[in-house]
Amino acid sequence: MGEVKNRNKWSVLMIVVLSTFMSTLDSSIVNVALPRMADSLGVTTASIQFVATSYLIVISGTVLIFGKLGDMFGKTSMFILGVIVFTIGSLLCGLSHSYWFLIMARAVQAIGAAGTMANNQGIVTEVFPAQERGKALGLLGTAVALGSLVGPGLGGMIVGVLSWEYIFTINVPIGIIATVGAFFLLPKTKTKTKTNGKMDLYGAVLFIVTIVSLFGALSEGLNLGFGNPLILTGFFVAAICFAAFLFVEKNRKDPMIQLDIFKNGLFSLSIFCGFISFIAMFCNNIILPFYLQDVMEFSPQKAGLIMMAYPLILMVVAPASGHLSDKIGSEILTFIGLVFTSIGLFSMSFLNEKSAVITMVCFIGIMSVGMGLFQSPNNSLIMSTVSRDKLGVAGSINALVRNIGMVCGIALATTLLYGMMSSRLGYRVTDYIPGRSDAFLFGMNIVYITASVICLIGAVLTFFRLKRKSVTVMAGK
């Protein structure tokens, strides 16, 4: 990728951030509209959930492919293609009048989102010099987090004023603007090079089957039971295909993922910690709305206002954290961030039906500060540990891990919540039981404690990484 003039790099970042926010937003904006969509399309509540999960499944199954294509044909080319396909998919979603047409349109939309997510960090890393990279990736990380967190509130407002179709069609004018801006402002990319090889079709197919089987089993496990033969078969197929995928990647000349990228301890640890953070974030995202509306009996509007504390604080902290990481390094900030997140999650486990709103906001604030301190420096660490020809794959792995973390967080939270509620009540439940907020609170507290422990494990790992770096620096002196 050619050098970008200094005056244009922030314009590049603006286009990348806008497209990333739009793609991430659509992973959560549909949730609040699902009941209305089910009525409109004449399907059950259980069936309409696939509108949300299909988006994450398709992104996860194709994001690595777009990362490889970005390294082969240029990250800018794949990014622009992604924005165009996402915009077309959004238009098709808005025009949908049948359930299966909507599912197919969501798949198109997700393929486009995968193209942008796989290559956004690589573009930013190449455009910005090392001393400004943390700040730029911090803004990009803020867009990702805001897209995930603002979605439910924004979706609720759109559905309340207009119809559910506008949740999708609102992307069309934004997508057109982003496409034009990307075409003229993003740096031109090279054509295919010999060093970046061919597409690994066998690996791509095996990986897609792995993701679909795994996500399908996780998504339906709560409804059918994780001991159900169909669910167990899904996990078995995912395990076999993933093992075959690793074998193929290890023995191919031009693999989709060069597995030696994981030999870099800093890269692998940063990816793992990012995975942990999104598990924790989505444990909170799936539990908190039910607590606010079912236990506290707040209106959706009031619940939405309380939850907006998270993205608003994150919007301030994440860019500042990215800027600070350029000054003092990323390792210490990732450690402090995971510690704060763990403390915030543990604090949330003390909430009950008598908790004050200011108490909730304070606990949410601690989590938000932690996530804001962690995300930007961690992204910077991930992208700074690989060579330029692997930036596309590194960015796509980061996006993949983020989406898998989201799904695993939802699966973990709902499984623990309803498992603990069933234990407390003495019979199996998969929904809130009116008049038994004690059972819900019991399950909710276990979820938050578990998420806190998971984050604490990540903090311990980052502490040892920080300590090892300090020893290395002292030895060098």
Q: What is the pLDDT of residue 266?
A: 79
By 3-state DSSP, what share of the chain in percent is helix, strand and coil, each rounded to 5?
Answer: 85, 0, 15
Q: What is the pLDDT of residue 263?
A: 80
Q: What is the pLDDT of residue 2?
A: 44
Q: What is the pLDDT of residue 347?
A: 94
CATH code of domain 1-192: 1.20.1250.20
Q: What does pLDDT average to in each consecutive run of 10 residues of the chain (477 residues)?
A: 57 84 78 72 68 81 82 84 93 88 92 87 78 71 70 69 82 88 75 55 85 81 77 91 88 76 80 86 80 79 75 79 74 88 93 90 91 81 71 72 80 84 83 82 92 91 71 44
Superfamily of domain 263-469: MFS general substrate transporter like domains (1.20.1250.20)
Q: What is the pLDDT of residue 244?
A: 92
- The residue extents of the domains of the chain are 1-192, 200-255, 263-469
DSSP output for 83-135? HHHHHHHHHHHHT--SHHHHHHHHHHHHHHHHHHHHHHHHHHHHHS-HHHHHH
Q: What 3-state DSSP class applies to 337?
A: helix
Structure tokens at 302: 């009031």
Q: What is the pLDDT of residue 77?
A: 86
- Using a 10 angstrom Cβ sphere, with 0-12 exposed, 13-18 middle and 19 or more buried, the burial of residue 222 is middle
* Rounded Cα gap, residues 356 and 276, in angstroms: 29
Exposed e or buried b for every residue in 378-387, given b needs 16+ CB within 10 A? bbbbbbbbbe
Q: What is the pLDDT of residue 195?
A: 46
Q: What are phi and psi of 199, to 5 degrees?
A: -70, 135
Q: What is the pLDDT of residue 470?
A: 54
Which sign, positive or negative, has the C-alpha torsion 436, 440, 441, 446? positive
Q: What is the pLDDT of residue 474?
A: 43
pTM for the model stands at 0.76
Q: What is the pLDDT of residue 468?
A: 62
